[in-house]
Structure 1
Amino acid sequence: MNLINRSCPRFIAVSLRNTIQIEPKMRTDLQASKVEAEARFRVIATAYETLKDDQTRSDYDYYLDHPEERFYNYYQYYRRRVVPKVDVRLVILGTIMSISLFQYYSAKQKYSEAIAYAMTVGKFRNMAINTGVERGVLEIDNKGKLKKVKGKNNEEIIRSIIEENMDVRGGYKKESIYDTLMWHCIILPYTIFNYLRWYVQWVFKYWIKREEYDDIAKLYLIRKHLGLNENQFNCMSDDEHDDMLARELWIDENFKRWKAEKDAEEQEKLVQSGRSAALSLV
């Protein structure tokens, strides 16, 4: 390409356009020799496509300055040619949507597994059967077994009753779009606003005014001491929460003492388990 290296791209574009439009000899050649004209046109078109874009022109300048780096120059060329130019925003949006769909259907599968397991547990199954009989949607025969009634699926009825009465939390709770990445991205500004408002209220109420912690604040501090997120902490029973409040575990010293006791208990259980295993082998 008989062009000055690092010339102004606009100047190059104008020069190429003028060359195609006004050069009489090129017009004559195009009419006289179709093959030669096509070849020259391809050269000019390639030069224009290469030099009109700042990125490809930068690669071309690098190629002129470093012709010995053949493999790198080939890589840059094919990377520009093969890799499509995609809007980064579309890529990010597609990634978020894919992750959200995976989260939703994964949660749905886990919830189904939890309910299916509960249906095999006698306690929950019997509770559901008794509830179904009281409602009149299930019937028991003289032998105490479920009657098969035409048009009714006993297992589906039992499943629906268990779903109504079970409070599945944590990683096996019922699927919801409100637990997906997409939803969290949508409400991110609102989430940030709420956090800042909560933080200001916390500082003003407990740091500046020195008010006593209420139960919600105490449970929050206990959760932070335990290193649990909100869902994990909510999976604990109300009795466990009450016990922690009674022990005043929001206070650092009390929590450290309680944690040491728990660790000692766990260590003792491991020792006892090891002794039992050793005795069973004797």
Structure 2
Amino acid sequence: MDLPPAPIRWRATAIPFFVAVLFVSTISPSRAIYCDEDDCYDLLGVSQSANASEIKKAYYKLSLKYHPDKNPDPESRKLFVKVANAYEILKDEATREQYDYAIAHPEEVFYNTARYYRAYYGHKTDPRAVLVGLLLILSGFQYLNQSTRYNQAVAMVKKTPAYKNKLRALELERSGGVTNKKKSQKNMDKKTEEDLSKELDLQITGAEMASVWKLLGVRFVLLPYTLGKLLLWTACWFWRYKVKKYPYSWEDASYLTQRSLSIPLDRWRNIDEATKEDLVLRRLWEKSNLESYVAEMRKESKRRR
């Protein structure tokens, strides 16, 4: 098969290419997603430099002219839809800025298209509202979990003989050592038991009563205050004990002792005062004293075995 001359072949392939280029340059795909083949500003009859008030007035004027209730012509209805769409794009500063950028940079097709779909089909929820909602949900579950654990722990403690003995001793104390013989040891009046149980301070390790101040949401709200308080405490500690070389106060020495022994705060509070005083006087925050104390505890543990 004979091929046509090269110049003819070049013209045959180049003409469709130039037509395609001309079409793309005339109607940019990134612009077409906004107002199809039309210009949003031309649809409203305003310039690109028009302010929000001018755009609004132009839309109201055209809507009175082309609205289906005012003009029954089918072509008028189509034009009204285009005008309304152009107004939705230009009335919002963010979408108008995106459209202006698409006009100025028609070559960035994919970028302009992505911005358009993100603006119109992306989530509209304020991230701050999502964060607040998430904190409320987590705080609710946290409070429910703490309450359930505490109530279960209290129910288990109330079944122990030690608790019942304390309850009986408290009843004897309140009655002056006189008990009602009609009541057996096992059948204490429920109302009396509830009243007496309220007077007993139950210290349950690992299960504390639910507190609003320990919830995640409350702590997040108070985070700036907490950080400020921590920074102030750190500065005062550094000034008092590092710069001025003052001796440790009893509270600070207790804190250092508790931290050196890695004892949780709730357990430290439950230690009797005599044991606390002995531990603090040992100055266990000093490495040599702590090593001696640990060795002493190991020897004592071996003797007990």
- Return the TM-score normalized by structure 2: 0.61
Distance 1:136 1:44, change over 3 A: farther
* Matching residue of 1:35: 74
* Matching residue of 2:213: 178
* Matching residue of 2:88: 49
> How far does the alpha carbon of each residue in 1:121-153 deviate from its partner, in whole angstroms, 9 at most, with x for none?
1111111123124434995547952446xxx42
Establish whether residue 224 from structure 1 lines up as the match of residue 259 from structure 2. yes
Would the aligned equivalents of 2:66 and 2:80 in 1 still touch at CA under 8 Å? no
Q: Using the alignment, how far apart are the partners of 1:143 and 1:86 within structure 2?
A: 64
Would the aligned equivalents of 1:30 and 1:38 in 2 still touch at CA under 8 Å? no
Within the candidate set 166, 189, 202, 2:237 is matched to 202
Q: Using the alignment, how far apart are the partners of 1:263 and 1:37 within structure 2?
A: 95
How far is 1:59 from its partner? Answer: 5.8
Q: Using the alignment, how far apart are the partners of 2:288 and 2:58 within structure 1?
A: 84
* Gap regions ≥5 residues in structure 1: 273-282
* Matching residue of 1:279: none
What do you get for the CA RMSD once the two structures are aligned?
4.6
* Matching residue of 2:167: 128
Would the aligned equivalents of 2:253 and 2:280 in 1 still touch at CA under 8 Å? yes
* Matching residue of 1:21: 61
Q: Using the alignment, how far apart are the partners of 1:71 and 1:206 within structure 2?
A: 62
Q: Using the alignment, how far apart are the partners of 2:203 and 2:97 within structure 1?
A: 59
Distance 1:85 1:140, change over 3 A: same
Q: Using the alignment, how far apart are the partners of 2:186 and 2:257 within structure 1?
A: 47
How far is 1:186 from its partner? Answer: 5.7
* Matching residue of 2:124: 84
Distance 1:28 1:243, change over 3 A: closer
Distance 1:72 1:27, change over 3 A: closer
* Matching residue of 1:244: 279
Distance 1:38 1:73, change over 3 A: same
Q: Using the alignment, how far apart are the partners of 2:71 and 2:141 within structure 1?
A: 63
How far is 1:119 from its partner? Answer: 0.7
* Matching residue of 1:145: 185
Q: Using the alignment, how far apart are the partners of 1:263 and 1:49 within structure 2?
A: 78
Would the aligned equivalents of 2:138 and 2:216 in 1 still touch at CA under 8 Å? yes
Would the aligned equivalents of 1:110 and 1:172 in 2 still touch at CA under 8 Å? yes
Establish whether residue 215 from structure 1 lines up as the match of residue 250 from structure 2. yes
Task: Provide the secondary structure at the position in 2 that maps to 1:248.
Answer: coil
Establish whether residue 3 from structure 1 lines up as the match of residue 39 from structure 2. yes
Once structures 1 and 2 are overlaid, which stretch shifts more, 13-22 or 94-103? Answer: 13-22
How far is 1:37 from its partner? Answer: 2.2
Structure 1 vs Structure 2: percent identity of aligned residues?
Answer: 21
Distance 1:55 1:237, change over 3 A: farther
Would the aligned equivalents of 1:169 and 1:231 in 2 still touch at CA under 8 Å? no
Would the aligned equivalents of 2:59 and 2:84 in 1 still touch at CA under 8 Å? no
Aligned partner of 1:86: which letter? D
Would the aligned equivalents of 2:55 and 2:91 in 1 still touch at CA under 8 Å? no
Task: Provide the secondary structure at the position in 2 that maps to 1:172.
Answer: coil
Establish whether residue 102 from structure 1 lines up as the match of residue 134 from structure 2. no
Q: Using the alignment, how far apart are the partners of 1:104 and 1:28 within structure 2?
A: 56
Equivalent residue runs for 1:63-74 within 5 Å: 65=107, 67=109
> How far does the alpha carbon of each residue in 1:190-220 deviate from its partner, in whole angstroms, 9 at most, with x for none?
5455444433432332222212223321221
How far is 1:16 from its partner? Answer: 7.0
Aligned partner of 2:201: which letter? M
Q: Using the alignment, how far apart are the partners of 2:168 and 2:49 within structure 1?
A: 80
Task: Provide the secondary structure at the position in 1 that maps to 2:185.
Answer: coil
Would the aligned equivalents of 2:55 and 2:87 in 1 still touch at CA under 8 Å? no
Q: Using the alignment, how far apart are the partners of 1:232 and 1:9 within structure 2?
A: 71
* Gap regions ≥5 residues in structure 2: 1-34, 42-46
Would the aligned equivalents of 1:222 and 1:249 in 2 still touch at CA under 8 Å? yes
